[in-house]
Amino acid sequence: MNILFSILAILGVVLVFNFIIFVHELGHFWAAKWRGMQVDRFQIWFGKPIWKKTIDGVQWGLGTIPLGGFVSLPEMAPMEAIEGEKLAPKESGKKITPLDKIIVAAAGPLFSFLLAFAAACIVWKVGRAEFPVTSTEIGYVQADSPAEKAGLKAGDTIVEIAGQRPATFDGKFDAVTTMIALSAGELIEIKVERPGVEGLVTVNCGYEIPETSWYERKAMRRIGIAPKQDVFIGSVIENSPAAKAGLQQGDQITKVNGQPATSFLSVQDMTKESAEAVLYTILREGETREVSITPVFPRLPKDYDRKLIGINFAIDNGAELFYSHPNPFDQMTEAGTFMWKSLQAVANRKTSLDVQHFSGPIGIGKQMYDLLTIKDGWRELIWFLVIFNVNLAIFNLLPFPVLDGGHIVLSIAEWVRGRPAPLKILEVIQTAFVAVLFSLFLFISSKDLGDNFGKVFGGKPKSTAPQKIEF
């Protein structure tokens, strides 16, 4: 990837990110103008402005801290801890009611929902890429894993996880892997259909959480299973046993030593543990052939700990992508449901999910950048905008000080009491929550850096696999 493309992709991420912020704050701005409230400033990013211009009594600016944005509204709750000192007050001549404040506070999330809906309409038209895999059949069970100990087997089809029916195995919010990751309690109830067994088989499965470095996010729950999948060769390493045996890119491995190849992981296991030649059944252009190959340790790196035949597997397993066209309401519901379930999982101390698993601007920007670098990534970026804007709206509606939901709660309390809360108390509460929010932001950002740029902390890369293998 050339440097110019990388620079353009980064600039694209920055522009998209700030456009999202602009639209959210524009909702507050227009609502405030409609309700006759005083508007001091409209600023993207926090801190002292590096650029500003006053138009019709409103100071428009760009801050020095590349995080978020705000519309300064003196008649709302005190926000100096984030927005800085208010400008010289102006008399609007209108009495501001709690209803006015509620409308203005709700307008930001409303505009985020509207932007999500607009993006969802585009996705509806152009489509989003998906693999045509809806099976929940297990193709691989890791040795000595929680799944094996619980009695799950390759060939089982997962019907329910903790009372919920999964739609697919991976890659979606209602997938097997996601449900396991968000599960609660020490045991996960899993119901499966098993060949040759009448009715459903119920197992209570434990889980494991892989170790991570101190600078990375805590890993999510897993039980040691993988989906059933066709196994295709993505590439063949030069001078390897596979190359000498004539294996080619695009070949499908259907059997290993007569056993069905239901996952590339099972093929790896049967290869690395073999002390003698392995018989691979290969399907190429409709013709089946058998090839005997003896796995060996590679010449380089010298300390490699398992035998190989010298192939890399196709990550898409030979499946052809197709473009689904879900309607906008289904997309909004899907994104909102996942956000809500994630918040519930964080609040439930019986799950393994906590706030560190959310992404901050760095992590979100990295995801957007990655989408721009893949084929047809622009389609996935638009779908990502649906998810992100729905999440942004829901997050801002949480009833905490500083957030829009907090302003709504304060305005409702003012409506009920007939007078606003004491200014000094509000200032203390707002400032304290700003400190909490900023600390949380720093913590999440450190995890974003750790996950995506682990070497910054002097640690090892997340993958310990060698960069190059030679035979």
Per-residue pLDDT tens digits for 67-89: 788 888 888 766 555 555 555 55
Q: Comparing 133-227 with 231-313, is the CATH topology the same?
A: yes
Q: Which range among 51-60, 257-266, 282-291, 448-457 shows the weakest confidence by mean pLDDT?
A: 448-457
What are the CB-based long-range contacts (under 8 Å, 24+) for 209-214? Answer: 209/352, 213/450, 213/454, 213/457, 213/459, 213/460
| pLDDT, position 95 | 82
Pick the CATH number of 231-313 from 2.30.42.10, 2.40.400.10, 2.170.120.20, 3.40.30.10: 2.30.42.10
pTM of the model: 0.81
Pick the CATH number of 133-227 from 2.30.42.10, 3.40.50.1980, 2.60.120.200, 1.10.10.10: 2.30.42.10
Q: Which range among 235-249, 275-289, 425-439 shows the weakest confidence by mean pLDDT?
A: 425-439
Q: What gap in Å lies between CA 463 and CA 290, rounded to an integer?
A: 33
Give the residue among 38, 71, 73 at the shortest CA–CA distance from 57.
38
Indicate whether 6 pLDDT > 80: no
Indicate whether 62 pLDDT > 60: yes
Comparison of pLDDT for 461 and 302, the residue scoring more: 302
- Alpha-carbon dihedral sign for residues 115, 116, 122, 124: negative
- Give the mean model confidence (pLDDT) for residues 444-454: 82
| pLDDT, position 280 | 94
Domain ranges of the chain: 3-127+363-457, 133-227, 231-313
- Give the mean model confidence (pLDDT) for residues 370-382: 83
Q: Which range among 28-37, 158-167, 180-189, 294-303 shows the weakest confidence by mean pLDDT?
A: 294-303
| pLDDT, position 462 | 45
- Alpha-carbon dihedral sign for residues 18, 24, 28, 29: positive
- Give the mean model confidence (pLDDT) for residues 322-345: 89
| pLDDT, position 132 | 61
Instruction: Report which residue type is found at 344.
Output: Q
Cβ partners under 8 Å of residue 197, min gap 6: none
Q: Which range among 137-146, 360-369, 448-457 shows the weakest confidence by mean pLDDT?
A: 448-457
Q: Report pLDDT digits (tens) over 187-225.
A: 999 999 999 999 999 999 999 998 888 888 899 999 999
Q: Report pLDDT digits (tens) over 389-414.
A: 999 999 999 998 888 999 999 899 88
User: Beta strands 252-256 and 278-284: pairing type?
Assistant: antiparallel
Indicate whether 459 pLDDT > 50: no
| pLDDT, position 465 | 47
Residues recognised as catalytic: 25
| pLDDT, position 85 | 58
| pLDDT, position 146 | 96
Q: Report pLDDT digits (tens) over 114-152.
A: 999 999 999 999 988 776 666 899 999 999 999 999 999
- Reported as a pLDDT band with limits 50, 70 and 90, residue 343 is confident
Share of the chain above pLDDT 70, in %: 91
| pLDDT, position 9 | 79
Indicate whether 456 pLDDT > 50: no
Mean per-residue pLDDT over the chain, rounded:
86
| pLDDT, position 176 | 94
Comparison of pLDDT for 26 and 373, the residue scoring more: 26
